[in-house]
């Protein structure tokens, strides 16, 4: 485990007073390493977890050649170009029971989707494409030039071969992955334990819900957005409430969280002009860097460790909390939980309006992305882009990412967008 100073020393041109977004992510990549705490879980409990080991297929999937259609199984070698093929039906193969008869030349077997291909047969003609020549399909004709050998047959092991890696360590177990593991006949999987993440809000002006509104105060929204973001990420959350700006209270909250959590997230109290004790307490108890990041919204942020726990001191503004979470905390926590997927892919969308942008910082504007008639994406900003305006996040379905070196954007120009997908 490297200290903050050791990580900083590894980075070229590290300047805590003017760190780029890329610089932050590079720092975090070096600071944060995966936990290694595997546990074996039944599949139904493993949704959203990260695999702690490769899943190796113990069987072939599918386990036998089978039909992809309802139809008639035949020998592909009997097909002749330009000529129809007449066949006599000698049996019926149903799904779930292998048909054990023998099939001679000029013969076929009626077959259902998923049924095992009878010995010697390798091709299936879909039932709706044959000409029926006798009652009960005892004699059929396959039209000329319709099929080639192997058509409509699923091969043994075409999804997965016995011994092959079905899923890699670090993969997220989403619905498709759960189904894939089940298709291998495996009832349990080896996954990393869930992360436990504590959070609290700081600031004497922050009111808990239920307190009467008073002049100069605002209700705490950050604990709720953090609760949602962390829960969506599959973390176990520990809510430490609003902590008043008193050293003893802050110290107790940090020590409590550090003693039993993998990470601690605070909001507020890390900007330069702060009169309060949050920064001082982080400095006293932990190994922490205080940054000014070239970004908007966001800017001030503290990162490091208190004891074994990772610490993220996020800015107080509600939109800045969400944006810094998505840009930095989420990828760092994914890495901590052992995931191999970190940042979501960026998509290109055409801006429906001009966007003002100063080169030299990364800007995250809230946007609504929609699809045009020709299938391309377009994006429009949502309302007031102030860093305290949460309604802009509610209306948005993604963030417009205006990169560090980028300048103004004209109407119709493409911009990168990061969709919220399941994160928000």
- Per the structure block, which two tokens stand in for 127? 């039932």
- Per the structure block, which two tokens stand in for 331? 């990828």
For Mg ion, the binding residues in 260-279 under the rule CB under 5 A are 268-269
Residue 393 to residue 298: CA distance in whole angstroms: 14
Site string for ligand AMP, 360-389 (x = CB under 6 A): ------------------------------
Beta-bridge partner residues of 347: 417
For residue 206, the minimal CB distance to ligand AMP (Å) is 5
Region of 39 on the Ramachandran plot (φ > 0 left; ψ -120 to 50 alpha; else beta): beta
Concatenating the DSSP letter of every residue in 166-200 gives EE-TT-B--HHHHHHHHHTT--EEEEEPPPEEEEE
Task: Determine the interface stretch with ligand AMP among 113-121, 219-227, 326-334, 350-358 (rule: CB under 6 A).
Answer: 219-227
Residue 392 binds ligand AMP (CB under 6 A): no
For residue 399, the minimal CB distance to ligand AMP (Å) is 19
Task: Count Cβ atoms below 10 Å from residue 212 Cβ, excluding itself.
Answer: 6
| Contacting residue, 203, 286, 313, 318, with Mg ion by CB under 5 A | 203
Residues 6+ apart with CB under 8 A from 223: 199, 200, 201, 239, 241, 242, 267
For residue 277, the minimal CB distance to ligand AMP (Å) is 12
Beta-bridge partner residues of 140: 87, 132
| Contacting residue, 48, 316, 338, 367, with ligand AMP by CB under 6 A | 316
| Contacting residue, 222, 324, 382, 392, with ligand AMP by CB under 6 A | 222
- Residue (268 or 367) nearer to Mg ion, CB: 268
For ligand AMP, the binding residues in 155-174 under the rule CB under 6 A are none
| Contacting residue, 71, 234, 269, 298, with ligand AMP by CB under 6 A | 269
- Establish whether the linkage from the previous residue to 94 is cis, with ω within 30° of 0: no
Residue 376 to residue 351: CA distance in whole angstroms: 11
| Contacting residue, 127, 221, 340, 395, with ligand AMP by CB under 6 A | 221
**List of residues contacting ligand AMP (CB under 6 A):** 201, 203, 205-206, 218, 220-222, 267-269, 271, 315-318
**List of residues contacting Mg ion (CB under 5 A):** 203, 268-269
């Amino acid at each position: 485990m490297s200290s903050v100073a050791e990580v900083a020393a590894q980075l070229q041109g590290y300047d805590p007073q003017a760190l780029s977004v890329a610089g932050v992510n590079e720092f975090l990549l070096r600071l944060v390493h995966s936990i290694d705490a595997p546990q074996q879980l039944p599949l139904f409990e493993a949704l959203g977890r990260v695999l702690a080991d490769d899943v190796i297929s113990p069987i072939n999937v599918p386990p036998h050649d089978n039909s992809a259609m309802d139809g008639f199984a035949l020998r592909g070698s009997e097909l002749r170009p330009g000529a129809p093929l007449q066949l006599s039906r000698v049996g019926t193969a149903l799904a779930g029971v292998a048909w054990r008869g023998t099939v001679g030349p000029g013969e076929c077997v009626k077959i259902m989707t998923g049924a095992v291909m009878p010995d010697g047969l390798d091709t299936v003609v879909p039932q709706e494409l044959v000409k029926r020549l006798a009652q009960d399909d005892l004699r059929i004709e396959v039209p000329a030039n319709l099929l080639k050998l192997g058509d409509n047959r699923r091969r043994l092991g075409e999804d997965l071969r016995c011994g092959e890696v079905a899923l890699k360590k670090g993969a997220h177990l989403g619905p498709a992955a759960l189904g894939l593991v089940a298709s291998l006949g495996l009832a349990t999987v080896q996954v990393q334990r869930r992360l436990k993440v504590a959070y609290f809000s700081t600031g004497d002006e922050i009111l808990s819900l239920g307190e009467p509104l008073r002049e100069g105060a605002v209700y705490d929204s950050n604990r709720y957005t953090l609760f949602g973001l962390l829960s969506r990420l599959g973390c176990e959350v520990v809510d430490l409430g609003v902590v008043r700006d008193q050293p003893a209270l802050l110290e107790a909250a940090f020590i409590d969280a550090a003693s039993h959590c993998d990470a601690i997230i605070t909001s507020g109290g890390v900007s330069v002009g702060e009169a309060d004790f949050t920064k001082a307490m982080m400095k006293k108890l932990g190994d922490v860097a205080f940054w000014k990041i070239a970004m908007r919204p966001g800017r001030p942020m503290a990162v490091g460790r208190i004891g074994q726990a990772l610490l993220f001191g996020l800015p107080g503004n509600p939109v800045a909390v969400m944006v810094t979470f998505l840009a930095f905390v989420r990828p760092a926590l994914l890495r901590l939980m052992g995931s191999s997927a970190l940042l979501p892919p960026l998509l290109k969308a055409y801006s429906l309006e001009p966007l003002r942008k100063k080169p030299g910082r990364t800007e995250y504007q809230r946007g609504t992305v929609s699809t045009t008639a020709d299938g391309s994406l377009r994006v429009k900003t949502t309302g007031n882009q102030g860093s305290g305006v949460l309604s802009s996040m509610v209306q948005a379905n993604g963030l417009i990412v205006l990169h560090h070196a980028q300048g103004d954007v004209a109407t119709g120009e493409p911009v990168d967008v990061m969709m919220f997908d399941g994160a928000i």
